[in-house]
A and B are shown apart, each in its own frame.
Chain A
Amino acid sequence: MNKEELKIRLAELCPSAVLEEGGEWTTAVIDPAGWDGFAQQLRSAEGLEFDYLFCVTAVDWKTHFMMVYHLTSTVHRHTLVIKAKLDHECPVIRSVADIWRTVEFHEREAFDLMGVEFTGHPDLRRLFMTDDWRGWPLRKDYDDPVNMIKL
């Protein structure tokens, strides 16, 4: 499916999605509330079949967090980027680990370093940091007076 066809299908599936222009891939900003239902459709809808989620990113914009999901289809060879804006005080989004199994570790990483909470995740605990670590080290406002020398 080419980019134009993909945009038309996206508008049908999720009318509230806002398409971003200028990127390498088709990019849609969605409301995080409807993410798991939309994800299920992306995974299984005929013609889309995004069967591989290859990257999950959390970006700290100081005023909010932006989740970025990179999806691709090994059937149709098309790629899609989904973004969802989260509240900075309480970043919560539905986990999609039940839809794409590989996301289990991606989401654990985003939880570990950014403190994004994924509801419904089967095993949401620290991945790189030690289990007793406090804080979210990749956040812009993170401070660690013991280990960090500030410049």
Chain B
Amino acid sequence: MDVSQQNMQPFPGEVHPTAGGGILMTKLDEVINWARSNSLWPLVFGTSCCAIEMMSTAAAKYDWSRFGFEVARATPRQADVIIIAGTIVNKMAPVLKRLYDQMADPKYVIAMGACATSGGPFFYNTYSVVKGADHVIPVDVYVAGCPPRPEALLHALIALQEKIRRGGSEKISGGAS
């Protein structure tokens, strides 16, 4: 399926026309999820070459704002999704954890590329690399590649939107429940 079509989810609900307007029949959870999935603000975060592909995905040619990712925020307090674009080393792990903790719920995590997924090329014989960012924070979507192409990242972002639409609006990732 074409990615642009895949993203064109209809509004979850029905409008019953009445005189002078209409009545909307829907579920609150579905509307909230629909709204959340269509305005995910990523955090400006990148630790290596995957970040170059992520920037490319944000820039004019791939333009992730077409799918609702719009503005990348430079502060975790205004971001909804963190894309772990690159290797996480042991010294970076507490920084990543802190950034994640500072993000407001609901928050989502994408592990972009081999390093963020498993340590990738640094899995063996390395003293400094975290073998997968999910040792530090919970991950919603993993993307394969080294680095993944922008299309792959877009697919992951769309997959995350799908996940949000299907999940309950009460989802609070990582926080105390």
Contacts and interface: CB of A to CB of B under 8 A. Distances in A.
Contacts of A8: none
User: Which interface class (under 10, 10 to 19, 20 to 34, 35 or more) fits A?
Assistant: under 10
A130 B89 CA distance: 12
Interface in B56-107: 90-91
A150 B127 contact: no
Interface of B: 90-91, 123-128, 131
A150 B131 CA distance: 13
Nearest to A144: B127
A151 B123 CA distance: 9
21 contacts: A130-B91, A137-B127, A137-B128, A142-B127, A144-B127, A147-B90, A147-B126, A147-B127, A147-B128, A148-B124, A148-B125, A148-B126, A148-B127, A149-B123, A149-B124, A149-B125, A149-B131, A150-B124, A150-B125, A151-B124, A151-B125
A120 to B, nearest CB: 29
Nearest to A147: B127
Interface string A113-151: 000000000000000001000000100001010011111
Nearest to A142: B127
B172 to A, nearest CB: 32
Nearest to B90: A147
A119 B94 CA distance: 34
Given A142-B127, A148-B126, A151-B124, 17 more contacts: A130-B91, A137-B127, A137-B128, A144-B127, A147-B90, A147-B126, A147-B127, A147-B128, A148-B124, A148-B125, A148-B127, A149-B123, A149-B125, A149-B131, A150-B124, A150-B125, A151-B125
